[in-house]
Structures are given as C-alpha cells and as structure tokens.
Amino acid sequence: KNLKKYFEVKNELSKKKVLKLKAVDDVSFELRKGEVLGIVGESGCGKSTLVNTILKLFEPTGGKVIFEGEDIYSLDKKSIRNIRKDIQIVFQDPYWSLNPRWLVKDIISEPIDVHEHLNSIEKLERVDALLKMVGLKEDAAFKYPHEFSGGERQRIAIARSLASEPKLVILDEPTSSIDVFSQAQILELLRNLKDKFELTNILISHDLGVVNQMSNKIAVMYLGKIVEFGTADKIFEFPQHPYTKALFNSIPKLGKEGIESLVTLEGNIPSPINPPSGCSFHTRCKNATEECKKRKPAITYLDKEHYVSCLLFEEGHNA
C-alpha cells in the first residue's frame, strides 16, 4: 500500500545538493493466495527495487506491506524472521546469488537452519528431496556451484527458495541470464512447483512471453509507478494504457512477410532522477497533450480489478 523507495544521489555538479531518485513511487496492489502476479516494464523502471523493498532488503521510504493481515514493517526482528520463512526470492543471476565456496547441500539448507533445528541426516534428506523436485541428481549435494550450468544453478536457487516451505515466492527475472533451451525448462518447473505447493508468485520479467505463460495478474511499471494493473486476460487482450499498448506492440510478431517487428515504443526511458513533469510517460506517448505535461494522472478504476493511471481515462477529460 502506497509503497515508496527513494534513493538519495549526489548531484555531480554541485557536490552538496542531494537529489531524490524515486525508484518506487507510491505503488499499491493486492495479490491473493495462489495467484501469480507478473510485473513488466523496461529495465530501470523499478521492478527489482519494488520486490526488494517488499522484502525490506531495501529500507522502505514509506508505505506498508501487509502479508496475511500482518503489517510486515511494524514487526520486531524475530517476527520478521518468521515471516521471511514464508516469503522467499529467486534472483536473476544464479552466478552471483549462490555462494561459490559453499557445497550445494549447505546452500540449499541455509534457510532451514534459520528456522528449524534438524540434525544433519534429516537436513540431508530434505536437501535430497528438494534436489529431486527441481530435477537434479542426489550427488549434486556434494558439489560446488561452479560445477553446474546456468540452468542447473537456477534449479539450485529454486530448491533453496523452497527449503523453508514458503507461501510466496518472488521470482526476479528467473530465466533471463540462462540459455533459451534451459529457459523453457525452468518455466515449466516453476509452473509445476507452483501447482504442487499451491504457491503464490510474483514474477518479474521484461519478457512478456514469459509473463504471459505464468501470470494471472499483470502490473505494468513505468518510472517507479504502476501505470496499469489487472488480470492477465484483460491486459493481454485489451491493454488500455498507452504505455502498455506500446510495450505489447513492440513484441515481434510472425506475419506473412516473416518477422514483423512493430516497434512503436521509441526513445529511452527517461532518468528517474529527473523525471518528466506531469505524466512521466508524456515524452514518449503518442496520445500526449499539453495537459499531460502539466498534470499527474491519478488512478482510475476501469473495473474492480483493473486500473490505469492516465489522464485519458479520468472523468471530465475531454481529449
């Protein structure tokens, strides 16, 4: 609810002046048990910062995170540790997220050690079961991360994320640093594990194909804000926000003449340190008017579960 994460950055010109980088700027959404929320947007729009702030890996600037009725940020350290057991994250790059000096069995059982007191035999049994679940052989337990491919390392990271029997697993670009063949297999694995353990997922990806395969809710982010939120069916079939439309149109499609790339999203994402005035998408928006340069759009609900942040949808707007 109204989540904010601002970073302070030094102004290069006048060394003293500190600027605010609004990486996550007033983000609200709701996710129910068993749902998969896909968060999409170009790189640098705040997707990873959002999930790191949800987990309090980054100190939030403002807002609340309510998990099963509990306001996470108001809990003491011990209660936070208990909730961490229920919420796990798989990071983008399995090359740096796994400690290279640890055996796989120790990497996977680390979350168990924090929350449970198992003896070494019980722990190894749990590790073996987890390795099997992610499609790795038992002997993987006594190897080091460098002995595995990128796809296999991501399987190890997934096994670790499941070790504490979590309810919510956050996946931050889980397939973007591995080869295309392994990507498809990892996605299938994630879908199977989601069903098997009745997990709730937040899936970050800049790849709309990946998001489309997994998600039933979509949040589209631009410069630290969610500009459109709704069910995957609606957003894929009838995107409403000009940014969502442009983003989805820039997926290359296979037409009669071969690959037709409908690149309608021009220009780069502006710097979040100095974002455009009014609606921050106005510098790239095909529908932008003078008003868009001056006025920030509020959130407009199109139905109970679908909202957009764009002046075109505001009541009384006469564009």
Task: Tell me which residues touch ligand SF4 (CB under 6 A).
Answer: 242, 279, 281-282, 285, 287-288, 292, 297, 310-312
| 232-257 residues labelled b (16+ CB within 10 A) or e (exposed) | bebbbeebbbbbbbbbbeeeeeeeee
Q: What gap in Å lies between CA 62 and CA 65, rounded to an integer?
A: 10
Using an 8 Å Cβ cutoff, are 51 and 89 in contact?
yes
Q: At closest approach, how far in Å is the CB of 281 from ligand SF4? A: 4
Maximum CA extent, the chain = 70
Closer to ligand SF4 by Cβ: residue 37 or 311: 311
Q: At closest approach, how far in Å is the CB of 313 from ligand SF4? A: 8
Closer to Mg ion by Cβ: residue 129 or 273: 273
Q: What gap in Å lies between CA 79 and CA 85, rounded to an integer?
A: 10
Using an 8 Å Cβ cutoff, are 3 and 60 in contact?
yes
Site stretch for Mg ion (CB under 5 A), options 40-48, 63-71, 93-101, 209-217: 40-48
Q: At closest approach, how far in Å is the CB of 262 from ligand SF4? A: 19
53 touching Mg ion, by CB under 5 A: no
Q: Which entry of Mg ion, ligand SF4, none binds 178, CB below 5 to 8 A by partner kind? A: none
| 295-310 residues labelled b (16+ CB within 10 A) or e (exposed) | bebebbeeeeebbbbb
Closer to Mg ion by Cβ: residue 48 or 213: 48
Q: At closest approach, how far in Å is the CB of 93 from Mg ion? A: 10
CA 314 to chain centre: 28
Q: Which entry of Mg ion, ligand SF4, none binds 312, CB below 5 to 8 A by partner kind? A: ligand SF4
Q: Left, alpha or beta for 205 (phi > 0: left; psi -120 to 50: alpha)?
A: beta
**What stretches of 158-251 adopt beta strand conformation (E)?**
168-172, 200-204, 217-222, 225-231
3-state SS assignment for residue 13? coil
Q: At closest approach, how far in Å is the CB of 172 from ligand SF4? A: 26
Closer to Mg ion by Cβ: residue 48 or 182: 48
Closer to ligand SF4 by Cβ: residue 148 or 248: 248
48 touching Mg ion, by CB under 5 A: yes
| Cα pseudo-dihedral 14, 16, 17, 19, rounded to 10 | 110
Q: What gap in Å lies between CA 48 and CA 55, rounded to an integer?
A: 11
Write each residue from 237 to 276 as x if it is in contact with Mg ion (CB under 5 A), else as -, in one continuous string: ----------------------------------------
Q: Which residue is nearest to Mg ion (CB)?
A: 48
Site stretch for Mg ion (CB under 5 A), options 46-54, 119-127, 293-301, 308-316: 46-54
Q: Which entry of ligand SF4, Mg ion, none binds 48, CB below 5 to 8 A by partner kind? A: Mg ion
205 touching Mg ion, by CB under 5 A: no
Site stretch for Mg ion (CB under 5 A), options 44-52, 106-114, 119-127, 192-200: 44-52
The pair phi, psi for residue 204, each rounded to 5°, is -95, 135
Q: At closest approach, how far in Å is the CB of 218 from Mg ion? A: 17
Closer to Mg ion by Cβ: residue 48 or 183: 48
